[in-house]
Structure 1
Amino acid sequence: MEKSKKTDMMFIASINDDLLQNILQRLPAKPFAFASCVNRSWNIVCNHILSRPKMVSAFSRNTDQLEAVEEALDKALSEPIRPDFVIANITCGNMDVTLSLITKRVGTRVPVIVSIVEGVLGKEACNDKAGEVKQNDQGMHISPTFAILLTIGYLPGIKADVIPVIQAKEESEAMIGDKFVMDIRNFVSAVSDHAAPPCLMLFGEDTHATEPIIRKLDYAMPAETIIVGNQKGEFLHKRANELTTVQLHKDESRVLAGLIFARDRHRPIQAGRTQFHTAISRGMSSVDLRYKVANAIVCLPRWPATLTTAKRIGEAEVLNGEQILDDIEASLLVNPLWEADPYIGVIKRRKYSVGLEEKPKIIASLVFHQVTGADEQYLTVKGAGIKTGDHFQVYIPDVKVAEASLNAVSSQLRNLMSKPNQQEVVGGFVFADTGRGDAFFGRPNADSSPFLENFPELRFGGVFCDGEIGRGLFVEEEEEETSSQRCLHVVSSVYLIVSYACS
């Protein structure tokens, strides 16, 4: 027996590095991790295999939650990877159970975000085919079915962690927004020589507090920082090296969680560089109707709404809700585009600052509010934050605009790959409005098409959400909006692309 063991050890030792790499790179994540600990030579080969970043997604539509989570984990961990972060998006079910199963497989050192979303898209774990699952396609009276999208990332040269926004009863939105910005800056300064993170992925709760915090981030972070995410939903989080999730006190509530990516100051000089990019497929067209808010009354139950009257630009008459809606309907009769509720795009000029900054800056941003009703007094729209004197224009969902915009995104991705530094796309994620999908486009996998057309082998993923967040260098604003920032979108798809460029 001893002789047999010695013979086996001699055989293993005699394997050259090329053959060893060919064997090790076929292993699933857990056996690969064990192999990297065999000896120094094997560890060097394993490190070479993992010299490039990797971001893999897999989704399961298995209706049994436990089986679905394991199925997605098995697929995502079927190749060598050392998880730096995990994102789990589920359509319903128990977030604690999902988080527990993930932590059991990847360990307690890995930051994890679990969120409940309106739907998922990507490549299915069972067959690698593109597909999507949306809750609102099930119908209002049908119980939601479980589906999960799991995304695991390994990004050498990048430090990742989750930073939450927890609001106590006595804390204002301004206070928690300032604290969130400072927490991000403190994390970045602790691990990086850079002043700001290259990318933030945000997951919010269904609360009106998320919008001002996101706008605070938009103001506080430099233009180079990409910000993407889902504004509304539910989430749980576990920070790196935490054993369990943080237990909230009775007067605290979750508002937002950010997965923060910072450049590691200890990244080897010779190593390649992970880069983040965004592109946005818009899905609305403007109607030539422009107004100035004459009066705005904000209602603040769990889902805030605003009652408003308005004047046409250049006119003195104050219009009530029915008159404004009549204007919109008359315009759509002349140029019918889509049978859906219209939106108003409000130009909000607000003062922003962080902490004790002496001179707040005035920032103009375009914010969309869906029209939900009208009467002889007011036009009713979703959301808060509209003030007397704000200007707005009417917008409607438009599939033709969305199709053209998808083609533009696909072209942007092709241009990214044609740059002289030979970037390799290693991961992708989509935040798509829940109003999009198969029913909106009349064809399957439209929101996945930029990835499918340009990177057919990429294991991308995405979610359908109610309030997609997107800001970045690829964003091209429409001509009439060039003077206004836009970080929150509707009827759009926000694409995060992770690439790798050799030094």
Structure 2
Amino acid sequence: MDCFSAVNDDILQNILFRLPASSFASAACVRKSWNRVCNRVLAFPKLATALSQNPSLRDAVREVLDKVLSGPIRPQFAIASIGLQFSLEAAHHLISRKLGPKVPVVTNTSCGIIGRDAITNTMKEVRWHMIPEEDGSVSQEFEEFNRGIVLIVGYLPGLKVEAIPLLRLKTDPQVTLVDRFLTEIKNYTAYASGLIAPTGIIMFGDQNVDLTPVLAEIDCAMPEETVIAGDASSRFICNSSHNSPQYNSDLFFFDAVALVFAKDKNKPQGIGETRFHSRLSAGVMPFGPELRAITVASKGTECSWITSTMNGIPQIIDSQRLLGDINVELEASADLYIGVIQKRPSSIEHEKMEMRKYLAFYEVIGGDDDYLVIDGVGVQPGDTFMFYHSDSATASSSCLKAFEKLKVLRSPSNPWATPVGAHIVGGGKGGAFGGLMFSSHYRGESYYDSFPIYSNFPGTALAGIVCSREIGRDSATSSVWQAAKKESPARCSLHVCTTVYLVLSYIPPPPNLYIN
């Protein structure tokens, strides 16, 4: 110990910076001077990510945990995305037990994973095609193929993080408690930061719940600067930092969960600012005339039958013939959707009689004479819609646009980027330090989607979750359709065939405010 007391802080910091997380945490408890140096090391935010395709759940979790905890970090939150052949409950238990009960953890199932391999450090994009055998059995190859995990652990000094669930009463399963959800987000943000809105929200929604109207309420309630991204097509388990008894699974269904990132009003002096930046890459193209729904019949929450007309033509459209013509024109691999403009009263502000206007997507699954059959419910008579199809050219061009928009984060003249020569104690610099992706299962080949982050910020921590419904705030998707009508575009927060990019950047404090 005496020999270490003679070591100056710079040398000690260099030593501590090389320790794994557990040893680093122990070192911080040795003496006050070491704790001070440890705090200097952790003055910079960190996103640690790792991917494993090990077919053993226990081994896969061990590999990714060893990787993300191989350097100094104080986990504030964790996101784990796994293949369907892994046990959701077991994976969540293993990760939560390792990180501790006070770390908010969300574990979800996914259609694929994106990230650097925990063993080889190579970048991988894995999209699982979860198709069972025709006789209903599952082959051994399928069992081993649909296994893997990507783990994201974050430490963001200057921000506080909490997991807040969207609940639905089991005694009244028709009512989702959106008002309570928004109130809890606002109350937590006010408690943490004294502000009315968080910096960012990462959401995960149950695959059997339509989050379109919920996201419309959230979009209306949150200012534009609050970044919202996520996956609305999974199964998930979550725990908050305090495991409140008010979130009793015996009383409630969990329709979604939000990781809420709020500025810390008690941020120590010498800590800079973490910012969230979101960009979207759409992969669908509108086509054909505008149609109007005349009658709608639904089967539970599964699907709907719609009759429709075209403006100026009173006859009901022969949907089966229409789909036949569309199939002739489209590529065989294209997926077909309808984008519906829905104008609905607010579910939480009944007294104001305000209408929410948003674009909702439904996959077309068939046609029967006059009826168009879609996956899901929610369309009402009088709603207008257009057909959309997945389009590789659109996906490619929008991916390039996302690359260019993210590129500005590298520019020294940009307010988000770091002034030339700016450094923080601990070896970190400002600028982008991590990226998350929520990418459609139906998009391109390997490395196609990750390159806007991967190429702009080489070496930066990057991880992604492959979804079938992507959450991201955007009004541009419907603007092509509505520009001709001179209408304000409907907001769209729940997408198909889209990749949502979330980049985290850091602005260091002024030089005279660094931690000593």
- Change in CA separation of 1:229 and 1:395 when aligned onto 2, cut-off 3 Å: same
State the secondary structure of the residue aligned to 2:352. coil
- 1:496 maps to 502
Does residue 62 of the first structure (1) align with residue 51 of the second (2)?
no
Amino acid of the structure 2 residue aligned with 1:466: S
Segment of structure 1 superposing worse, 90-99 or 44-53? 90-99
- Change in CA separation of 1:338 and 1:14 when aligned onto 2, cut-off 3 Å: farther
Amino acid of the structure 1 residue aligned with 2:305: L
- 2:359 maps to 366
**Aligned counterparts of 2:116 and 2:132: Cα–Cα separation in 1:** 24
- 2:473 maps to 471
Tell me if the contact between 1:277 and 1:472 (Cα under 8 Å) persists in the aligned partners. no
Question: Which of residues 90, 101, 108 in structure 2 aligns to 1:97?
Answer: 90
Segment of structure 1 superposing worse, 356-365 or 377-386? 356-365
Tell me if the contact between 2:169 and 2:176 (Cα under 8 Å) persists in the aligned partners. no
State the secondary structure of the residue aligned to 2:71. coil
**Aligned counterparts of 1:170 and 1:145: Cα–Cα separation in 2:** 36
Tell me if the contact between 1:337 and 1:396 (Cα under 8 Å) persists in the aligned partners. no
State the secondary structure of the residue aligned to 1:495. strand
- Change in CA separation of 1:285 and 1:425 when aligned onto 2, cut-off 3 Å: same
Does residue 268 of the first structure (1) align with residue 275 of the second (2)?
no
Tell me if the contact between 2:474 and 2:491 (Cα under 8 Å) persists in the aligned partners. no
**Aligned counterparts of 1:173 and 1:24: Cα–Cα separation in 2:** 54
- Change in CA separation of 1:469 and 1:243 when aligned onto 2, cut-off 3 Å: closer
- 2:513 maps to none
**Aligned counterparts of 1:44 and 1:123: Cα–Cα separation in 2:** 32
State the secondary structure of the residue aligned to 1:405. helix
Does residue 306 of the first structure (1) align with residue 304 of the second (2)?
yes
**Aligned counterparts of 2:72 and 2:353: Cα–Cα separation in 1:** 48
- 1:4 maps to none
State the secondary structure of the residue aligned to 1:400. helix
- 2:33 maps to 41
Tell me if the contact between 1:86 and 1:152 (Cα under 8 Å) persists in the aligned partners. yes
Amino acid of the structure 1 residue aligned with 2:336: P
Alignment gaps of 5+ in structure 2: 419-430, 483-487, 510-516
Tell me if the contact between 2:341 and 2:490 (Cα under 8 Å) persists in the aligned partners. yes
Tell me if the contact between 2:309 and 2:317 (Cα under 8 Å) persists in the aligned partners. yes
Tell me if the contact between 1:201 and 1:229 (Cα under 8 Å) persists in the aligned partners. yes
Tell me if the contact between 2:334 and 2:391 (Cα under 8 Å) persists in the aligned partners. no
CA offset digits 1:127-166 (Å, max 9, x no partner): 1111122221676553353200100000111110111123
CA offset digits 1:380-427 (Å, max 9, x no partner): 011211111111111111101111111111111111221145241121
Offset at residue 213 of structure 1 (A): 2.2
- Change in CA separation of 1:494 and 1:206 when aligned onto 2, cut-off 3 Å: same
Tell me if the contact between 1:308 and 1:378 (Cα under 8 Å) persists in the aligned partners. yes
**Aligned counterparts of 1:244 and 1:134: Cα–Cα separation in 2:** 37
Does residue 487 of the first structure (1) align with residue 493 of the second (2)?
yes
Tell me if the contact between 2:83 and 2:110 (Cα under 8 Å) persists in the aligned partners. yes
**Aligned counterparts of 1:21 and 1:323: Cα–Cα separation in 2:** 71
- 2:426 maps to none
- What is the aligned-residue RMSD (CA, Å)? 2.2
> What pairs with 1:77-476 in structure 2 (closer than 5 Å)?
77-92=69-84, 93-136=86-129, 141=138, 142-143=142-143, 145-171=146-172, 174-242=175-243, 248-249=249-250, 252-268=252-268, 270-301=270-301, 304-329=302-327, 332=329, 336=330, 339-354=333-348, 358-418=351-411, 419-423=414-418, 424-438=431-445, 444-471=446-473
Segment of structure 1 superposing worse, 155-164 or 173-182? 173-182
**Aligned counterparts of 2:323 and 2:367: Cα–Cα separation in 1:** 7
CA offset digits 1:102-125 (Å, max 9, x no partner): 223221111111111111111111
**Aligned counterparts of 1:102 and 1:454: Cα–Cα separation in 2:** 31
State the secondary structure of the residue aligned to 1:422. coil
TM norm structure 2: 0.88
- Change in CA separation of 1:323 and 1:488 when aligned onto 2, cut-off 3 Å: same
**Aligned counterparts of 2:109 and 2:246: Cα–Cα separation in 1:** 16
- Change in CA separation of 1:88 and 1:60 when aligned onto 2, cut-off 3 Å: same
TM norm structure 1: 0.90
State the secondary structure of the residue aligned to 2:107. strand
Tell me if the contact between 2:19 and 2:72 (Cα under 8 Å) persists in the aligned partners. yes
- 1:5 maps to none
Amino acid of the structure 1 residue aligned with 2:184: D
Offset at residue 196 of structure 1 (A): 1.1
**Aligned counterparts of 2:286 and 2:245: Cα–Cα separation in 1:** 47
Tell me if the contact between 2:168 and 2:176 (Cα under 8 Å) persists in the aligned partners. no
> Paired residues, what number?
481
**Aligned counterparts of 1:237 and 1:329: Cα–Cα separation in 2:** 42
Percent identity reads 33
- 2:427 maps to none
Offset at residue 365 of structure 1 (A): 1.1
**Aligned counterparts of 1:138 and 1:376: Cα–Cα separation in 2:** 29
**Aligned counterparts of 1:173 and 1:429: Cα–Cα separation in 2:** 33
- Change in CA separation of 1:484 and 1:211 when aligned onto 2, cut-off 3 Å: closer
Amino acid of the structure 2 residue aligned with 1:434: H
CA offset digits 1:417-472 (Å, max 9, x no partner): 2114524112111111111242xxxxx21111111111110121011112111016
- Change in CA separation of 1:359 and 1:117 when aligned onto 2, cut-off 3 Å: same
Tell me if the contact between 2:470 and 2:494 (Cα under 8 Å) persists in the aligned partners. yes
Tell me if the contact between 2:52 and 2:148 (Cα under 8 Å) persists in the aligned partners. yes
State the secondary structure of the residue aligned to 1:132. strand
- Change in CA separation of 1:188 and 1:171 when aligned onto 2, cut-off 3 Å: farther
